[in-house]
Amino acid sequence: MSHFLKYIVIWLGSLMKKPLLALRRNSVSATSRVRLNSFYRGCKIGKWCFIGRYGIFNNVHIGNYTCIAPSCQIGGEEHSYWAASTSPQLSDECISGRITYIGHDVWIAANCIIRQGVTIGNGAVVGANSFVNKDIPPYAIVFGSPAKIYKYRFDEDTIKRLNDSHYWDFAPKEAKVILGKIKVQQSEA
């Protein structure tokens, strides 16, 4: 019974945040937990996600079961250093509005910066303090500045079975059953 009450409290808290988040053209699933002391604009946040405090998110589409640690900056305007002025007030060449895609079941550790327009594949892991300026393939582990692939979490066959299962489309109880049937083989580094 206490698990059920905890779920109801979380759901009600998320529901109360929705009007505030909608003011900046955001769409957030009621099952996700997002911190309001972050800035969200033009974001779509999937089901069963967790987003930590002090983040800045501009035009980000986030899949289901994704977790983002505190103090991450994703998307955002890029100033025109090549033009006569870097100010958006004086230059029409600043770049903004590109959508950044974060896949399903992604883990982004604290203090990461991810450029606008980047795609991070399903199941990827981004190490703390990383700067991501290029697309990240599914199930890759990346870190650094700029972020580089360290290794893949699983072998190719396991990655294919995980992607083909679409476990992220199911509620946690059913997703756990699906994942339990997939034999995971770690990638060789």
pTM of the predicted model over 0.85: no
| DSSP output for 43-92 | -EE-TT-EE-SS-EEESEEE-TT-EE-TT-EES--B--TTSS---TTT-S
Give the separation between CA 18 and CA 5, rounded to whole angstroms: 20
- Structure confidence at residue 115 (pLDDT): 94
Q: Which residue out of 3, 61, 79, 166 is catalytically annotated?
A: 79
pLDDT per residue as tens, the chain (189 positions):
566 776 666 666 655 555 455 445 788 888 998 887 888 989 999 999 999 999 999 999 999 999 999 999 999 777 667 766 777 776 666 567 789 999 999 999 999 999 999 999 999 999 999 999 999 999 999 999 999 999 999 999 999 999 999 999 999 999 999 999 987 767 665
Q: Two tokens at 117?
A: 């327009």
Does the annotation mark 79 as catalytic?
yes
Please say whether the beta carbons of 97 and 112 come within 8 A.
Answer: no
How far apart CA 139 and CA 123 sit, in angstroms, is 4
